[in-house]
Chain A
Amino acid sequence: DAMVIQNPRYQVTQFGKPVTLSCSQTLNHNVMYWYQQKSSQAPKLLFHYYDKDFNNEADTPDNFQSRRPNTSFCFLDIRSPGLGDAAMYLCATSRDPPPSSYEQYFGPGTRLTVT
């Protein structure tokens, strides 16, 4: 089945220790997104890639970076995690970026704990 896969599902890192979260998709979608979700709040978009074009949200901290080496994979790098970065990180894909009639498909998420 075509899907969005996130690894690991749970990640524990130490304060200030760099961490990378990964996402892969078999949908062959053009767009990949990274969202941060805290405590059952609405997902907050961090950035997205439309093919190789990187689109950063204005309020995304510099501490968050992303890489998309090919169509299928996208990585979220947190250079120096703080306690406030503990959250669920959701990867999503869509055929085209908003404004679009195409829905986004979400992975199961990676829950990040910072100790």
Chain B
Amino acid sequence: AQSVAQPEDQVNVAEGNPLTVKCTYSVSGNPYLFWYVQYPNRGLQFLLKYITGDNLVKGSYGFEAEFNKSQTSFHLKKPSALVSDSALYFCAGATGTASKLTFGTGTRLQVTL
């Protein structure tokens, strides 16, 4: 069975500091990995994805994520956080044997002044 884990329910960071939101995966085969962001009372917005190729993936709003096969991780990062980045972040994955996207439980990012 495939699974995606987000070990932190909430991450707090000061504006201007770098941020990391963690995600690990457990799948068979080569994974397709995604990050989505959700603002209050809104749908999920696609940020970035890893399919193959470079382990460092760049996405929307200055976010990037690093695929690490040996650690089975796909952490979301941003060099300098903004208050407007405060939202709920979901990691998701799929593999060649899965029929649906598996979401992590979500991490709430709180960026303060």
Residues in A lying within 8 Å of B, measured CB to CB: 4, 6, 40-43, 45, 48, 55, 57, 88, 90, 92, 97-101, 103-109, 111
B51 CB contacts on chain A under 8 angstroms: 101
Are the CB atoms of A42 and B41 closer together than 8 Å? no
Are the CB atoms of B43 and A98 closer together than 8 Å? no
Closest to A108 in B: B43
In the bound complex, CA of A102 to CA of B17 (Å): 32
Are the CB atoms of A43 and B103 closer together than 8 Å? yes
Q: Which of B18-26, B64-72, B74-82, B93-101 has 4 or more CB atoms under 8 Å from chain A?
A: B93-101
B32 CB contacts on chain A under 8 angstroms: 98-101
The 6 A-B residue pairs whose C-beta atoms are closest, nearest first, are: A106-B43, A42-B103, A98-B94, A106-B44, A101-B51, A103-B46
Contact of B41 among A43, A105, A107, A109 (CB under 8 A): A109
In the bound complex, CA of A45 to CA of B88 (Å): 18
Are the CB atoms of A99 and B96 closer together than 8 Å? yes
- Mostly helix, strand, loop or mixed at chain A's interface? loop
Interface size on B, residues (CB 8 A): 26
A98 touching B49 in the complex, CB below 8 Å, given contacts A40-B106, A42-B104, A109-B42: no
B63 at the A interface (CB under 8 A)? no
Interface contacts beyond A6-B43, A42-B90, A109-B42: sample of 18 additional A-B pairs, CB < 8 Å, sorted by A: A4-B43, A40-B88, A42-B105, A48-B100, A88-B41, A92-B44, A99-B98, A99-B99, A100-B32, A104-B44, A104-B101, A106-B36, A106-B44, A106-B45, A106-B46, A108-B41, A108-B43, A109-B43
In the bound complex, CA of A41 to CA of B90 (Å): 10
B90 CB contacts on chain A under 8 angstroms: 42-43
Contact of A90 among B43, B49, B94, B101 (CB under 8 A): B43
In the bound complex, CA of A88 to CA of B36 (Å): 16
In the bound complex, CA of A42 to CA of B104 (Å): 6
Are the CB atoms of A99 and B94 closer together than 8 Å? yes
Nearest-CB distance from A105 to chain B (Å)? 7
Contact of B100 among A45, A101, A105 (CB under 8 A): A45
Please, could you name 7 A-B residue pairs with CB atoms under 8 Å apart, sorted by A?
A98-B99, A99-B98, A101-B49, A103-B49, A106-B36, A106-B43, A111-B41
